[in-house]
Amino acid sequence: MEWISDVSVGDWLRERLNKDLAENNTMHSVVPSGFEAYARIFHPAQVRSLPDRAVPTMDEWNRMPDAEHARLSELFVDAPASWAGTADAFGTTMHALAQWQRLVKTPPDGDWRTRIAPDGREFTSPFEGEIPPTLLAAIARHLIVHTSTPDAGFAAIWEGWGGFVGHFGETSSRAFLEFTDDPAHAQVLQQSFHDRFNNPFRKAKWQPGIVSDEISQGQRLSLPSRDHVLFSAAPAVFADPDWVLGVPWRDRPAEEHGFAPEAQHPSILWPADRAWVMVSEIDYDSTIVAGSAALIQALCADAALEALPIPEGASLHWDADTINR
């Protein structure tokens, strides 16, 4: 895998995206049009339940003081939650164009990110724009079967992920806490923290990112909604959950501070033959795959994925769920 400075290989994506703001209520502001079929792969949510005791009802939970909420939360057991299972818990209808806040019956002034179901379980909304490496691997195993170029393709990563690219600024966009017993070192850290407040005329300086300075300052694949850093990437690599270990955008700075190996998954992935494209838009709680009817059928039939076919021109706007209104 290598960084690509000639981003013209992604021009075809731009040609298939809506440029008319009046049409941007459909998914084609970020998902290319013109494919035979499309699948929406729902990102997993989280559910918590209280083991070995009666689960409080929603009314009981809402009447509890905050201190009791905190105490009970320590007993909660986290588990992945499907969208279909969430719909069952809230008495709503799961369908291809479902929207999370409608699925969990969020009132106009409510927080859709965390909702208590009638049976007392707590549901937390799926991540937007992010999927775990294992889920990407499950998707990629189908993708590589439906292309003539599984060993050649491209991965585009949104430039806006925190600390991904370097930038000019007074401080870094990411920080790693350091603990020390050395008073002198602690004093230096304290002075460094307060310096930007005490010196408002401090000049901005280059703050390195995860990727190299050359990549950070290089060309972007500029699409109507986002700018991306582009890499050559064999789709077959992502069929292995350990793909994070081999990508050039692996977060080495975090590893140097003791964190486990990690890498942002592609925002857009496609093979050299353009047989399909996978889009994980940062504002979507689902990943969209466009490709052949056979690919979409295989994705939707896989029990390891929660996926449903959606039509071309579908809207995934936050208020597009007309069934659960």
CA torsion sign for 194, 197, 201, 205 is positive
* pLDDT score recorded for residue 81: 92
Query: Any idea where the domains of the chain sit in the sequence?
Result: 2-42+129-167+208-310, 45-124
* pLDDT score recorded for residue 192: 46
* pLDDT score recorded for residue 54: 57
* pLDDT score recorded for residue 135: 94
* C-alpha span between 120 and 50 (Å, rounded): 9
* pLDDT score recorded for residue 22: 47
* pLDDT score recorded for residue 200: 56
Torsions phi, psi for 3 (to 5 deg): -70, 140
pLDDT tens, residue order, the chain (325 aa): 898 999 999 999 999 998 764 456 789 999 999 999 999 999 999 998 765 555 566 667 677 787 776 666 555 567 889 999 999 999 999 999 999 999 999 998 888 899 999 988 899 999 998 899 999 999 999 999 999 999 999 999 998 887 888 766 666 555 555 544 556 555 544 554 455 555 555 667 867 778 888 888 889 999 987 999 999 999 999 999 998 888 888 888 787 878 888 888 999 999 999 999 999 999 999 999 999 999 999 999 999 999 999 999 999 988 889 999 8
- Which residue, among 96, 92, 93, has the nearest Cα to 117 in the 3D structure? 92
* pLDDT score recorded for residue 228: 94
* C-alpha span between 232 and 230 (Å, rounded): 7
DSSP state of 26: S
* pLDDT score recorded for residue 277: 98
Query: Which residues partner with 38 through β-bridges?
Result: 290, 310
* pLDDT score recorded for residue 199: 54
For the chain, the C-alpha Rg in angstroms (whole number) is 22
DSSP secondary structure, 8-64, as one string: GGGHHHHHTS---GGGTTSGGGTS-S--SEEEEEEPPEEEEE-TTSPPPPHHHHHHS
Asked if 232 and 5 count as a contact pair (C-beta separation under 8 A), the reply is no
CA torsion sign for 117, 123, 129, 130 is negative
* pLDDT score recorded for residue 205: 82
